[in-house]
Copies of this chain bind each other. A is one copy, B any other.
Amino acid sequence: MPESPFVSPYIPNTDDDRASMLATIGVGSVEELFDDIPAEHRHPHLDIPAPRSEMDLRRELEALAERNFHAGAHPSFLGAGVYHHYCPAVVSPLVTRGEFLTSYTPYQPEVSQGTLQGTYEFQTLTAQLFGMEVSNAGMYDGASSLAEAALMACRITGRAKVAVVDTVNPHYAEVVRAYTGPQQIEVYAIAPDATELEPETACVLSQYPNFFGYVEDVAARSELAHRAGALHCVSCDPMAMAMFRAPGECGVDIATGEGQALGVPPSFGGPYVGIFTCRQEYLRQLPGRLVGRTVDTEGRTGYVLTLQPREQHIRREHATSNICTSTALIGLWAAAYTALMGKHGLPHVAGLCYQKAHYAAGRIAELPGYRLPIEGTFFQEFVVSCPKPAEEVSITLEEAGIIGGLDVSDRFENGMLLCVTEVNTKDEIDGLLNVLAGIK
């Protein structure tokens, strides 16, 4: 059978269409339309393989996906900022409806009320979850949210030093450095129990629960910051906030977070959504988009992008941030998840994480050769010091079909950061215990 020449299933112009349009334009060929490009650089060789059919490509990609040793097929005890939570099946078909998926930033509010009102819900739910006064429409992710919080604190205080508690996610601390460095902001580390800040400190950056899963005294840290005229910016796990005191009740000035925990799939790192909330008084220093409620010419409620003079498309180099495309759809996903779980479900799930993690931790601590090097209250993550290097433990677990925790042996001897959430059954936990017990 003859090979059918490739025709893009996405392009409607036919040969006839092209001929008639070229005639209208008055050129002889599509190639001619590119005459502005210097001839010597025009139409270079492009070394990209031949077109593939959807069927063939699916086969290849599914095979690639199966080369991942993934939590869809194996119990996982890995967290470290990205969490496996169960997301109800209804979220995906709802949020990926074409009208949400394929629209853009709501520049024309009259035909974008869906996105706008959905974002308003996100702002409401995140503000309530964090007990904060206002929330923006979402940032790229949890890490860049914290970095933007540091920049915002510097703008507000007019200071240029940032103290990062050394129990903050090290990747987040790196992002803070990448964002603040170019603006001559100095970043320094402090211990969780620090009682002093350097002079001219704009803010303290904390994590709650901290990177190792433990709950620090956020209110005391807020006082420390405020005493020094600094702000307290805290990166919070939104799931933990259904169980532990909200940052808004702990004197926090800017509370950020990784929205991924609200039912968003891990997807090897993204897309996620950064939560960004603050006190009302700092409203006009907020980075990112904001949706506000208003009325139309007939008095009907409607929603619009508002306080835009903070943003790059109006203020250009004087904007509060360069952020433009953000992660609206993931915000909508997180909002749908939060609404479904609701007032009772979210605390219930948080409670399950706590219960299961404490069951696991308690049993591991009893195993010979294992101990929990950190004291205090943890949520769903905890560090275990193992009898062997964490990397070896991870490999042994993998051989037993289990995804182990993060290697934190740079901070704790043979340390592994384990995470247990509601998706881990007791059987899975007992399986983990079993393998660990065999490592001596």
Identical chains bound together, number: 2
Within 8 Å by CB of A55, from B1, B54, B355, B422, lies B422
Interface string of A76-98 (1 = CB under 8 A from B): 00000000001011000100111
* Cβ of A365 under 8 Å from chain B: no
Minimum C-beta distance from A98 to chain B (A): 8
Interface residues in A329-368 (C-beta closer than 8 Å to B): 340, 344, 348, 351-352, 355
CB-based contact B1/A88 at 8 Å: no
Expressed in whole angstroms, the Cα–Cα distance for A352 and B351 within the complex equals 55
Residues of B within 8 A of A89 (CB): 54, 58
Expressed in whole angstroms, the Cα–Cα distance for A55 and B58 within the complex equals 27
Expressed in whole angstroms, the Cα–Cα distance for A54 and B85 within the complex equals 13
* Cβ of A423 under 8 Å from chain B: yes
Chain A residues within 8 Å of chain B by Cβ, number:
24
Q: Give 4 closest A-B pairs by Cβ, nearest first.
A: A55-B86, A1-B351, A1-B355, A54-B88
Asked if A348 meets B55 with Cβ closer than 8 Å, knowing A93-B96, A97-B97, the reply is: no
Seen from chain A, the residues whose Cβ lies within 8 Å of a Cβ on chain B are: 1, 4, 7, 9, 54-55, 58-59, 86, 88-89, 93, 96-98, 340, 344, 348, 351-352, 355, 422-423, 425
Within 8 Å by CB of A86, from B54, B340, B352, B425, lies B54
Within 8 Å by CB of A348, from B4, B348, B351, B422, lies B4
Expressed in whole angstroms, the Cα–Cα distance for A4 and B344 within the complex equals 9
Residues of B within 8 A of A58 (CB): 89
CB-based contact A55/B344 at 8 Å: no
